[in-house]
Amino acid sequence: MAMSTDTRPDAPSAPVPAQTWTQRLANPTQFMKLSDWLLPILSVLAAAVIGYGTYLTFFVAPPDYQQGETVKIMFVHVPSAWLGMMGYGLIAVSSFGLLVFRHPLADVSAKAAAPIGAAFTLLALVTGSLWGKPMWGTYWVWDARLTSVLILFFLYLGLMALRSSIDDEAMAAKQTAVLGLVGVVILPIIKFSVDWWNTLHQPASVVKLDGPAIHSSILVPLLVNAIGFSLLFFALHMKGMRNEILRRRVKALRLAEVERASHGREAATAAG
Amino acid sequence: MNGFMTLLKRDLALAVREGGALGTALGFYLIVVALMPLGLGPDLNLLTRIAPGILWVALLLAALLSLPRIFEADHDDGSLDILALGGLPLELAAAAKSLAHWISTGIPLALMAPVLGILLNLEARAYPLVVATMLAGTPAISFLGSIGAALTLNAKRGGLLLALLVLPLYVPTLIFGISAISSAMLSPDGFAASFLILSAISLVSVALAPFAAAAALRAHMQ
Protein backbone atom coordinates (compact mmCIF):
# COMPACT_ATOMS: atom_id res chain seq x y z
CA MET A 1 0.00 0.00 0.00
CA ALA A 2 1.56 3.24 -1.15
CA MET A 3 -0.23 5.63 1.17
CA SER A 4 0.57 5.63 4.84
CA THR A 5 -1.59 7.70 7.12
CA ASP A 6 1.11 10.08 8.30
CA THR A 7 1.93 11.50 4.85
CA ARG A 8 -1.47 13.09 4.50
CA PRO A 9 -1.39 16.84 4.99
CA ASP A 10 -4.23 16.70 7.49
CA ALA A 11 -2.79 13.79 9.46
CA PRO A 12 -3.55 14.21 13.15
CA SER A 13 -0.58 14.37 15.47
CA ALA A 14 -1.93 11.67 17.78
CA PRO A 15 -0.94 8.14 16.69
CA VAL A 16 -3.61 6.76 14.39
CA PRO A 17 -4.64 3.16 15.12
CA ALA A 18 -3.38 0.86 12.41
CA GLN A 19 -5.92 0.35 9.65
CA THR A 20 -6.32 -2.68 7.47
CA TRP A 21 -6.11 -1.98 3.76
CA THR A 22 -9.85 -2.57 3.31
CA GLN A 23 -10.54 0.03 5.97
CA ARG A 24 -8.21 2.50 4.30
CA LEU A 25 -9.86 1.85 0.93
CA ALA A 26 -13.25 2.41 2.54
CA ASN A 27 -12.56 6.10 2.23
CA PRO A 28 -13.73 6.96 -1.30
CA THR A 29 -11.10 9.70 -1.54
CA GLN A 30 -8.32 7.21 -0.86
CA PHE A 31 -9.84 4.87 -3.41
CA MET A 32 -9.98 7.63 -6.01
CA LYS A 33 -6.33 8.49 -5.30
CA LEU A 34 -5.22 4.87 -5.61
CA SER A 35 -7.28 4.12 -8.70
CA ASP A 36 -6.10 7.34 -10.32
CA TRP A 37 -2.65 5.88 -10.93
CA LEU A 38 -3.60 2.19 -10.91
CA LEU A 39 -6.25 2.44 -13.63
CA PRO A 40 -3.94 3.60 -16.49
CA ILE A 41 -1.44 0.86 -15.59
CA LEU A 42 -4.20 -1.78 -15.57
CA SER A 43 -5.61 -0.54 -18.87
CA VAL A 44 -2.25 -0.56 -20.66
CA LEU A 45 -1.44 -4.02 -19.24
CA ALA A 46 -4.85 -5.33 -20.32
CA ALA A 47 -4.40 -4.00 -23.86
CA ALA A 48 -0.87 -5.42 -24.10
CA VAL A 49 -1.75 -8.88 -22.76
CA ILE A 50 -4.90 -9.17 -24.87
CA GLY A 51 -2.89 -8.03 -27.89
CA TYR A 52 -0.29 -10.71 -27.22
CA GLY A 53 -3.05 -13.25 -26.63
CA THR A 54 -4.67 -12.34 -29.95
CA TYR A 55 -1.32 -12.78 -31.70
CA LEU A 56 -0.88 -16.20 -30.07
CA THR A 57 -4.44 -17.14 -31.03
CA PHE A 58 -4.11 -16.40 -34.71
CA PHE A 59 -0.45 -17.08 -35.48
CA VAL A 60 0.95 -19.47 -32.89
CA ALA A 61 -1.76 -21.79 -31.58
CA PRO A 62 -2.11 -24.81 -33.89
CA PRO A 63 -5.52 -25.81 -35.23
CA ASP A 64 -6.96 -28.82 -33.44
CA TYR A 65 -6.72 -32.12 -35.33
CA GLN A 66 -10.45 -32.68 -34.89
CA GLN A 67 -11.95 -29.24 -34.48
CA GLY A 68 -9.75 -27.32 -36.92
CA GLU A 69 -9.61 -23.57 -36.46
CA THR A 70 -12.85 -23.45 -34.48
CA VAL A 71 -10.94 -24.53 -31.37
CA LYS A 72 -9.72 -20.94 -31.20
CA ILE A 73 -13.18 -19.81 -30.13
CA MET A 74 -12.13 -21.34 -26.84
CA PHE A 75 -9.64 -18.52 -26.24
CA VAL A 76 -12.54 -16.10 -25.92
CA HIS A 77 -15.17 -18.49 -24.63
CA VAL A 78 -13.39 -19.95 -21.61
CA PRO A 79 -12.01 -16.70 -20.14
CA SER A 80 -15.42 -15.04 -20.62
CA ALA A 81 -17.16 -17.85 -18.79
CA TRP A 82 -14.63 -17.68 -15.94
CA LEU A 83 -15.05 -13.92 -15.65
CA GLY A 84 -18.83 -14.15 -15.82
CA MET A 85 -18.69 -16.37 -12.76
CA MET A 86 -15.99 -14.33 -11.07
CA GLY A 87 -18.08 -11.20 -11.60
CA TYR A 88 -20.94 -12.78 -9.72
CA GLY A 89 -18.54 -13.89 -7.00
CA LEU A 90 -17.36 -10.30 -6.73
CA ILE A 91 -20.97 -9.10 -6.43
CA ALA A 92 -21.63 -11.68 -3.72
CA VAL A 93 -18.53 -10.66 -1.74
CA SER A 94 -19.46 -6.98 -2.14
CA SER A 95 -23.03 -7.70 -1.03
CA PHE A 96 -21.69 -9.47 2.04
CA GLY A 97 -19.40 -6.51 2.68
CA LEU A 98 -22.36 -4.14 2.47
CA LEU A 99 -24.78 -6.11 4.62
CA VAL A 100 -22.33 -7.24 7.29
CA PHE A 101 -19.55 -4.63 7.45
CA ARG A 102 -21.44 -1.66 5.94
CA HIS A 103 -18.38 -1.06 3.79
CA PRO A 104 -19.11 2.21 1.98
CA LEU A 105 -17.55 1.11 -1.31
CA ALA A 106 -19.15 -2.34 -1.32
CA ASP A 107 -22.30 -1.17 -3.04
CA VAL A 108 -20.32 0.86 -5.55
CA SER A 109 -18.35 -2.29 -6.34
CA ALA A 110 -21.46 -4.48 -6.64
CA LYS A 111 -23.18 -1.95 -8.87
CA ALA A 112 -20.16 -1.55 -11.15
CA ALA A 113 -19.57 -5.31 -11.43
CA ALA A 114 -23.09 -6.25 -12.55
CA PRO A 115 -23.10 -4.98 -16.16
CA ILE A 116 -19.50 -6.12 -16.73
CA GLY A 117 -20.20 -9.61 -15.40
CA ALA A 118 -23.41 -9.78 -17.44
CA ALA A 119 -21.50 -8.77 -20.58
CA PHE A 120 -18.88 -11.49 -20.06
CA THR A 121 -21.59 -14.06 -19.34
CA LEU A 122 -23.40 -13.09 -22.53
CA LEU A 123 -20.11 -13.27 -24.43
CA ALA A 124 -19.54 -16.79 -23.07
CA LEU A 125 -23.05 -17.82 -24.12
CA VAL A 126 -22.75 -16.34 -27.61
CA THR A 127 -19.26 -17.70 -28.33
CA GLY A 128 -20.29 -21.06 -26.89
CA SER A 129 -23.29 -21.07 -29.19
CA LEU A 130 -21.13 -20.23 -32.21
CA TRP A 131 -18.71 -22.98 -31.20
CA GLY A 132 -21.54 -25.44 -30.64
CA LYS A 133 -22.84 -25.14 -34.21
CA PRO A 134 -19.78 -26.72 -35.92
CA MET A 135 -19.02 -29.11 -33.03
CA TRP A 136 -22.40 -30.32 -31.81
CA GLY A 137 -24.42 -29.45 -34.89
CA THR A 138 -26.68 -27.04 -33.05
CA TYR A 139 -26.46 -23.55 -31.61
CA TRP A 140 -28.11 -24.49 -28.35
CA VAL A 141 -28.69 -27.61 -26.28
CA TRP A 142 -30.51 -27.73 -22.95
CA ASP A 143 -27.53 -29.16 -21.18
CA ALA A 144 -26.84 -28.56 -17.51
CA ARG A 145 -23.84 -26.28 -18.04
CA LEU A 146 -25.55 -24.12 -20.66
CA THR A 147 -28.75 -23.89 -18.67
CA SER A 148 -27.00 -22.93 -15.46
CA VAL A 149 -24.95 -20.23 -17.20
CA LEU A 150 -28.15 -18.91 -18.78
CA ILE A 151 -29.66 -18.70 -15.28
CA LEU A 152 -26.56 -16.80 -14.17
CA PHE A 153 -27.26 -14.32 -16.97
CA PHE A 154 -30.89 -13.99 -15.79
CA LEU A 155 -29.65 -13.37 -12.24
CA TYR A 156 -27.48 -10.52 -13.52
CA LEU A 157 -30.50 -9.06 -15.35
CA GLY A 158 -32.59 -9.43 -12.18
CA LEU A 159 -29.96 -7.62 -10.10
CA MET A 160 -29.82 -4.71 -12.52
CA ALA A 161 -33.60 -4.56 -12.90
CA LEU A 162 -34.16 -4.61 -9.14
CA ARG A 163 -31.65 -1.84 -8.59
CA SER A 164 -33.13 0.38 -11.29
CA SER A 165 -36.69 -0.09 -10.04
CA ILE A 166 -36.11 1.23 -6.51
CA ASP A 167 -35.77 5.00 -6.28
CA ASP A 168 -34.11 5.22 -2.89
CA GLU A 169 -30.45 4.39 -3.57
CA ALA A 170 -29.59 3.19 -0.07
CA MET A 171 -32.58 0.86 -0.07
CA ALA A 172 -31.85 -0.34 -3.61
CA ALA A 173 -28.31 -1.17 -2.48
CA LYS A 174 -29.51 -3.34 0.40
CA GLN A 175 -32.22 -5.11 -1.56
CA THR A 176 -29.82 -5.85 -4.39
CA ALA A 177 -27.29 -7.16 -1.88
CA VAL A 178 -29.84 -9.61 -0.45
CA LEU A 179 -30.61 -10.89 -3.94
CA GLY A 180 -26.90 -11.02 -4.75
CA LEU A 181 -26.26 -13.27 -1.76
CA VAL A 182 -29.26 -15.52 -2.48
CA GLY A 183 -28.17 -15.99 -6.10
CA VAL A 184 -24.68 -17.14 -5.17
CA VAL A 185 -25.93 -20.76 -5.04
CA ILE A 186 -25.73 -20.72 -8.84
CA LEU A 187 -21.90 -20.63 -8.79
CA PRO A 188 -21.31 -24.16 -7.40
CA ILE A 189 -24.14 -25.42 -9.61
CA ILE A 190 -22.37 -24.08 -12.71
CA LYS A 191 -19.00 -25.37 -11.55
CA PHE A 192 -20.17 -28.90 -10.83
CA SER A 193 -22.95 -29.18 -13.42
CA VAL A 194 -20.60 -31.01 -15.77
CA ASP A 195 -19.64 -33.51 -13.06
CA TRP A 196 -23.10 -34.09 -11.58
CA TRP A 197 -24.91 -34.63 -14.86
CA ASN A 198 -23.79 -36.35 -18.01
CA THR A 199 -23.64 -33.42 -20.33
CA LEU A 200 -22.59 -32.58 -23.83
CA HIS A 201 -20.41 -29.80 -22.48
CA GLN A 202 -16.98 -31.11 -21.65
CA PRO A 203 -15.89 -31.29 -18.00
CA ALA A 204 -13.24 -29.06 -16.48
CA SER A 205 -9.97 -29.53 -18.32
CA VAL A 206 -7.76 -26.68 -17.17
CA VAL A 207 -8.25 -26.46 -13.40
CA LYS A 208 -7.78 -30.03 -12.23
CA LEU A 209 -5.98 -31.66 -9.33
CA ASP A 210 -3.81 -33.80 -11.59
CA GLY A 211 -2.82 -30.97 -13.91
CA PRO A 212 -4.43 -29.58 -17.04
CA ALA A 213 -5.70 -31.96 -19.70
CA ILE A 214 -4.84 -29.60 -22.52
CA HIS A 215 -1.64 -29.52 -24.53
CA SER A 216 0.58 -26.56 -23.69
CA SER A 217 0.40 -25.17 -27.26
CA ILE A 218 -3.30 -24.49 -26.58
CA LEU A 219 -3.03 -23.93 -22.85
CA VAL A 220 -0.54 -21.05 -23.03
CA PRO A 221 -2.64 -18.80 -25.34
CA LEU A 222 -5.68 -19.67 -23.25
CA LEU A 223 -4.02 -18.58 -20.02
CA VAL A 224 -2.57 -15.45 -21.63
CA ASN A 225 -6.04 -14.49 -22.81
CA ALA A 226 -7.50 -15.33 -19.40
CA ILE A 227 -5.01 -12.99 -17.73
CA GLY A 228 -5.68 -10.29 -20.33
CA PHE A 229 -9.46 -10.57 -19.97
CA SER A 230 -9.14 -10.48 -16.17
CA LEU A 231 -7.05 -7.30 -16.38
CA LEU A 232 -9.71 -5.85 -18.68
CA PHE A 233 -12.40 -6.84 -16.18
CA PHE A 234 -10.60 -5.16 -13.31
CA ALA A 235 -9.84 -2.05 -15.36
CA LEU A 236 -13.50 -1.74 -16.40
CA HIS A 237 -14.62 -2.44 -12.86
CA MET A 238 -12.33 0.21 -11.44
CA LYS A 239 -13.48 2.70 -14.07
CA GLY A 240 -17.10 1.84 -13.29
CA MET A 241 -16.50 2.36 -9.57
CA ARG A 242 -14.82 5.72 -10.22
CA ASN A 243 -17.74 6.82 -12.38
CA GLU A 244 -20.21 5.75 -9.72
CA ILE A 245 -18.36 7.63 -6.98
CA LEU A 246 -18.18 10.74 -9.15
CA ARG A 247 -21.88 10.39 -10.02
CA ARG A 248 -22.75 10.26 -6.34
CA ARG A 249 -20.60 13.29 -5.61
CA VAL A 250 -22.26 15.25 -8.41
CA LYS A 251 -25.64 14.23 -7.05
CA ALA A 252 -24.68 15.34 -3.53
CA LEU A 253 -23.38 18.68 -4.86
CA ARG A 254 -26.60 19.23 -6.83
CA LEU A 255 -28.71 18.49 -3.77
CA ALA A 256 -26.61 20.89 -1.71
CA GLU A 257 -27.07 23.55 -4.38
CA VAL A 258 -30.84 23.06 -4.48
CA GLU A 259 -30.91 23.33 -0.72
CA ARG A 260 -28.87 26.50 -0.73
CA ALA A 261 -31.07 28.01 -3.44
CA SER A 262 -34.25 27.23 -1.53
CA HIS A 263 -32.77 28.72 1.66
CA GLY A 264 -31.81 31.81 -0.29
CA ARG A 265 -35.36 32.20 -1.56
CA GLU A 266 -36.75 31.74 1.95
CA ALA A 267 -34.39 34.41 3.25
CA ALA A 268 -35.40 36.73 0.39
CA THR A 269 -39.12 36.28 1.02
CA ALA A 270 -38.58 36.77 4.74
CA ALA A 271 -36.69 40.01 4.10
CA GLY A 272 -39.15 41.27 1.47
CA MET B 1 -44.00 -20.36 18.86
CA ASN B 2 -47.32 -18.98 20.06
CA GLY B 3 -46.95 -15.84 17.99
CA PHE B 4 -45.94 -17.95 15.00
CA MET B 5 -49.14 -20.02 15.19
CA THR B 6 -51.27 -16.93 15.71
CA LEU B 7 -49.78 -15.24 12.67
CA LEU B 8 -50.18 -18.41 10.63
CA LYS B 9 -53.84 -18.73 11.61
CA ARG B 10 -54.46 -15.06 10.92
CA ASP B 11 -52.93 -15.28 7.43
CA LEU B 12 -54.85 -18.47 6.65
CA ALA B 13 -58.10 -16.89 7.84
CA LEU B 14 -57.38 -13.84 5.71
CA ALA B 15 -56.64 -16.03 2.69
CA VAL B 16 -59.92 -17.89 3.12
CA ARG B 17 -62.17 -14.95 3.96
CA GLU B 18 -60.70 -12.47 1.49
CA GLY B 19 -61.75 -14.86 -1.22
CA GLY B 20 -60.80 -14.24 -4.80
CA ALA B 21 -57.07 -14.74 -4.28
CA LEU B 22 -57.07 -18.53 -4.36
CA GLY B 23 -59.79 -18.61 -7.00
CA THR B 24 -57.72 -16.33 -9.22
CA ALA B 25 -54.64 -18.54 -8.93
CA LEU B 26 -56.65 -21.71 -9.65
CA GLY B 27 -58.44 -20.02 -12.55
CA PHE B 28 -55.15 -18.83 -13.98
CA TYR B 29 -53.76 -22.36 -13.63
CA LEU B 30 -56.77 -23.75 -15.51
CA ILE B 31 -56.63 -21.24 -18.33
CA VAL B 32 -52.86 -21.60 -18.92
CA VAL B 33 -53.18 -25.39 -19.08
CA ALA B 34 -56.22 -25.10 -21.36
CA LEU B 35 -54.31 -22.80 -23.72
CA MET B 36 -51.54 -25.35 -24.29
CA PRO B 37 -53.52 -27.86 -26.38
CA LEU B 38 -54.87 -24.94 -28.40
CA GLY B 39 -51.34 -23.77 -29.13
CA LEU B 40 -49.80 -27.20 -29.70
CA GLY B 41 -52.65 -28.89 -31.54
CA PRO B 42 -54.90 -31.59 -30.12
CA ASP B 43 -52.43 -34.47 -30.70
CA LEU B 44 -53.12 -36.66 -27.64
CA ASN B 45 -49.83 -38.57 -27.83
CA LEU B 46 -47.84 -35.36 -27.82
CA LEU B 47 -49.91 -33.98 -24.94
CA THR B 48 -49.44 -37.16 -22.91
CA ARG B 49 -45.68 -36.87 -23.32
CA ILE B 50 -45.42 -33.24 -22.27
CA ALA B 51 -48.31 -33.10 -19.78
CA PRO B 52 -46.14 -33.21 -16.59
CA GLY B 53 -44.00 -30.37 -17.91
CA ILE B 54 -47.01 -28.23 -18.79
CA LEU B 55 -48.60 -28.85 -15.41
CA TRP B 56 -45.41 -27.92 -13.59
CA VAL B 57 -44.67 -24.77 -15.61
CA ALA B 58 -48.28 -23.58 -15.31
CA LEU B 59 -48.12 -24.22 -11.56
CA LEU B 60 -45.01 -22.02 -11.30
CA LEU B 61 -46.76 -19.22 -13.19
CA ALA B 62 -49.94 -19.48 -11.12
CA ALA B 63 -47.93 -19.47 -7.88
CA LEU B 64 -45.89 -16.52 -9.14
CA LEU B 65 -49.09 -14.56 -9.68
CA SER B 66 -50.08 -15.02 -6.05
CA LEU B 67 -46.68 -14.22 -4.50
CA PRO B 68 -47.20 -10.46 -3.97
CA ARG B 69 -50.01 -11.34 -1.56
CA ILE B 70 -47.50 -12.68 0.98
CA PHE B 71 -46.40 -9.25 2.19
CA GLU B 72 -48.20 -6.61 0.13
CA ALA B 73 -51.40 -6.05 2.11
CA ASP B 74 -49.54 -6.04 5.43
CA HIS B 75 -46.98 -3.65 4.02
CA ASP B 76 -49.65 -1.30 2.69
CA ASP B 77 -51.70 -1.07 5.87
CA GLY B 78 -48.71 -0.97 8.22
CA SER B 79 -49.24 -4.34 9.92
CA LEU B 80 -45.78 -5.35 8.80
CA ASP B 81 -44.22 -2.56 10.86
CA ILE B 82 -46.20 -3.73 13.88
CA LEU B 83 -44.97 -7.28 13.28
CA ALA B 84 -41.40 -6.02 13.05
CA LEU B 85 -41.76 -4.22 16.38
CA GLY B 86 -43.40 -7.18 18.11
CA GLY B 87 -41.75 -9.98 20.02
CA LEU B 88 -41.74 -12.43 17.14
CA PRO B 89 -38.45 -12.32 15.19
CA LEU B 90 -39.06 -11.03 11.67
CA GLU B 91 -37.53 -14.24 10.31
CA LEU B 92 -40.26 -16.28 12.00
CA ALA B 93 -42.92 -13.86 10.83
CA ALA B 94 -41.66 -14.24 7.25
CA ALA B 95 -41.65 -18.03 7.70
CA ALA B 96 -45.22 -18.01 9.04
CA LYS B 97 -46.43 -15.92 6.12
CA SER B 98 -44.62 -18.13 3.58
CA LEU B 99 -46.05 -21.22 5.23
CA ALA B 100 -49.52 -19.69 5.07
CA HIS B 101 -48.95 -19.04 1.37
CA TRP B 102 -47.94 -22.66 0.85
CA ILE B 103 -51.01 -23.99 2.67
CA SER B 104 -53.42 -21.56 1.04
CA THR B 105 -52.00 -21.62 -2.50
CA GLY B 106 -49.30 -24.26 -2.97
CA ILE B 107 -51.32 -27.23 -1.73
CA PRO B 108 -54.54 -26.32 -3.62
CA LEU B 109 -52.56 -25.82 -6.84
CA ALA B 110 -50.85 -29.20 -6.38
CA LEU B 111 -54.19 -30.91 -5.71
CA MET B 112 -55.73 -29.20 -8.73
CA ALA B 113 -53.04 -30.64 -11.05
CA PRO B 114 -54.62 -34.12 -11.50
CA VAL B 115 -57.91 -32.52 -12.54
CA LEU B 116 -56.08 -30.52 -15.19
CA GLY B 117 -54.17 -33.68 -16.14
CA ILE B 118 -57.40 -34.97 -17.67
CA LEU B 119 -57.32 -32.06 -20.14
CA LEU B 120 -53.82 -33.12 -21.19
CA ASN B 121 -54.46 -36.86 -21.38
CA LEU B 122 -51.96 -37.50 -18.57
CA GLU B 123 -51.06 -41.18 -18.17
CA ALA B 124 -52.88 -42.87 -15.29
CA ARG B 125 -49.73 -43.89 -13.42
CA ALA B 126 -48.33 -40.37 -13.65
CA TYR B 127 -51.12 -38.85 -11.51
CA PRO B 128 -49.68 -39.79 -8.09
CA LEU B 129 -46.19 -38.82 -9.27
CA VAL B 130 -47.31 -35.36 -10.35
CA VAL B 131 -49.12 -34.72 -7.07
CA ALA B 132 -46.25 -36.11 -4.97
CA THR B 133 -43.57 -34.03 -6.70
CA MET B 134 -45.73 -30.92 -6.51
CA LEU B 135 -46.47 -31.36 -2.83
CA ALA B 136 -42.74 -31.82 -2.22
CA GLY B 137 -41.73 -28.92 -4.47
CA THR B 138 -44.29 -26.22 -3.67
CA PRO B 139 -42.74 -25.33 -0.26
CA ALA B 140 -39.64 -24.22 -2.18
CA ILE B 141 -41.88 -22.18 -4.47
CA SER B 142 -43.59 -20.38 -1.59
CA PHE B 143 -40.47 -19.80 0.49
CA LEU B 144 -38.15 -18.76 -2.37
CA GLY B 145 -41.01 -16.63 -3.65
CA SER B 146 -41.23 -14.85 -0.31
CA ILE B 147 -37.71 -13.50 -0.93
CA GLY B 148 -38.80 -12.02 -4.25
CA ALA B 149 -42.04 -10.70 -2.74
CA ALA B 150 -40.07 -8.99 0.03
CA LEU B 151 -37.51 -7.52 -2.37
CA THR B 152 -40.07 -6.00 -4.73
CA LEU B 153 -42.32 -4.40 -2.09
CA ASN B 154 -41.21 -0.86 -2.90
CA ALA B 155 -40.26 -1.42 -6.52
CA LYS B 156 -41.91 0.17 -9.49
CA ARG B 157 -43.53 -2.39 -11.81
CA GLY B 158 -43.08 -4.92 -9.01
CA GLY B 159 -45.06 -7.70 -10.69
CA LEU B 160 -42.88 -7.99 -13.79
CA LEU B 161 -39.75 -7.59 -11.73
CA LEU B 162 -40.90 -10.34 -9.38
CA ALA B 163 -41.07 -12.77 -12.30
CA LEU B 164 -37.56 -11.85 -13.42
CA LEU B 165 -36.16 -12.30 -9.91
CA VAL B 166 -37.98 -15.41 -8.83
CA LEU B 167 -38.29 -17.62 -11.91
CA PRO B 168 -34.51 -18.23 -12.18
CA LEU B 169 -34.57 -19.35 -8.54
CA TYR B 170 -37.35 -21.82 -9.39
CA VAL B 171 -35.36 -23.58 -12.10
CA PRO B 172 -33.79 -26.29 -9.86
CA THR B 173 -37.20 -27.12 -8.35
CA LEU B 174 -38.72 -27.44 -11.82
CA ILE B 175 -35.84 -29.55 -13.15
CA PHE B 176 -35.89 -32.04 -10.29
CA GLY B 177 -39.68 -32.18 -10.14
CA ILE B 178 -39.84 -33.11 -13.80
CA SER B 179 -36.87 -35.46 -13.68
CA ALA B 180 -38.45 -37.33 -10.74
CA ILE B 181 -41.60 -37.88 -12.79
CA SER B 182 -39.86 -38.85 -16.00
CA SER B 183 -37.36 -41.20 -14.36
CA ALA B 184 -40.16 -42.88 -12.40
CA MET B 185 -42.04 -43.41 -15.67
CA LEU B 186 -39.00 -45.23 -17.07
CA SER B 187 -38.30 -47.45 -14.06
CA PRO B 188 -40.06 -47.68 -10.67
CA ASP B 189 -36.85 -47.27 -8.68
CA GLY B 190 -35.70 -44.19 -10.63
CA PHE B 191 -38.00 -41.96 -8.59
CA ALA B 192 -36.08 -41.74 -5.33
CA ALA B 193 -32.92 -39.90 -6.41
CA SER B 194 -34.57 -36.87 -7.99
CA PHE B 195 -37.39 -36.82 -5.46
CA LEU B 196 -34.93 -36.70 -2.58
CA ILE B 197 -33.05 -33.81 -4.17
CA LEU B 198 -36.37 -32.04 -4.78
CA SER B 199 -37.27 -32.47 -1.11
CA ALA B 200 -33.81 -31.26 -0.12
CA ILE B 201 -34.29 -28.10 -2.19
CA SER B 202 -37.59 -27.50 -0.42
CA LEU B 203 -36.11 -28.08 3.04
CA VAL B 204 -33.13 -25.80 2.38
CA SER B 205 -35.50 -23.10 1.10
CA VAL B 206 -37.71 -23.42 4.16
CA ALA B 207 -34.67 -23.16 6.43
CA LEU B 208 -32.84 -20.29 4.73
CA ALA B 209 -35.32 -18.20 2.72
CA PRO B 210 -36.95 -16.55 5.78
CA PHE B 211 -33.59 -15.03 6.69
CA ALA B 212 -33.21 -13.45 3.25
CA ALA B 213 -36.83 -12.30 3.20
CA ALA B 214 -36.48 -10.78 6.68
CA ALA B 215 -33.28 -8.99 5.65
CA ALA B 216 -35.12 -7.52 2.66
CA LEU B 217 -38.09 -6.49 4.83
CA ARG B 218 -35.79 -4.81 7.37
CA ALA B 219 -34.17 -2.77 4.60
CA HIS B 220 -37.63 -1.45 3.66
CA MET B 221 -38.29 -0.27 7.17
CA GLN B 222 -35.19 1.84 7.69
Q: Give the model confidence (pLDDT) of A201-251 as tens digits.
A: 777 776 666 666 777 778 888 899 999 999 999 999 999 999 999 999 999
Domain that holds residue B73: 2-221
Q: Which residue has the higher pLDDT, A13 or B59?
A: B59
Number of domains present in the structure of chain B: 1
Contacts of A155 in chain B (CB under 8 A): 168
Q: Note whether A178 contacts B147, CB cutoff 8 Å.
A: yes
pLDDT band at residue A127 using 50, 70 and 90 as cut-offs: very high
Average pLDDT of B85-91? 88
How far from A21 is each of A24, A86, A105, A117, B34, CA to CA, in Å? 5, 22, 13, 25, 61
* Test the A interface: residue of B57, B64, B147, B164 with most A CBs within 10 Å: B164
| pLDDT, mean of residues B139-158 | 90
Shortest distance, CA A119 to any CA of chain B (angstroms): 18
pLDDT at B128 over 60: yes
Chain A interface, Cβ < 8 Å to B? 99, 147, 151, 154-155, 157-158, 161-162, 165-168, 170-171, 174-175, 178-179, 181-183, 186, 189
pLDDT above 90 (res B56)? yes
What's the longest Cα–Cα distance across chain A?
Answer: 88
Say whether B151 and A161 touch across the interface (CB within 8 A). Answer: no
Q: So what's the pLDDT on residue B24?
A: 85
Q: What is the mean pLDDT of residues A46-67?
A: 86
Q: Which residues of B touch A168 (CB under 8 A)?
A: 154
pLDDT at A5: 42
* ipTM for this prediction: 0.83
Q: CB of B140 within 8 Å of any CB in chain A?
A: no
Q: Do A182 and B169 touch (CB under 8 A)?
A: yes
Kindly write down the DSSP assignment for every residue of A41-70, as one continuous string: HHHHHHHHHHHHHHHIIIIISPPBTTTBGG
Query: Does A139 have pLDDT greater than 50?
Result: yes
Over residues A160-169, mean pLDDT? 89
CB-facing half-sphere around the CA of B1: CA atoms within 13 A: 0
pLDDT at B221 over 90: no
The pLDDT tens digits for A235-245 are: 999 999 999 99
Is there a contact between A165 and B164 if contact means CB atoms under 8 Å apart? no
Q: Mean pLDDT throughout A98-111?
A: 89
Kindly report the average pLDDT of chain A as a whole number.
84
Chain B residue with minimum CA distance to A173: B219
Instruction: Find out whether B2 and B91 touch, Cβ atoms under 8 Å.
Output: no
Number of neighbours of residue A41 by Cβ within 10 angstroms: 11
Domains of chain A, by residue range, sit at: 30-197+214-264
Chain B hits for A162, Cβ within 8 Å:
151-152, 155, 161, 165
Q: Does B155 touch chain A (CB under 8 A)?
A: yes
Report the candidate in B89, B137, B88 with the shortest Cα–Cα distance to residue B109.
B137
- Asked whether residue B62 carries a pLDDT value surpassing 90, the answer given is yes
pLDDT at B78 (0 to 100): 87
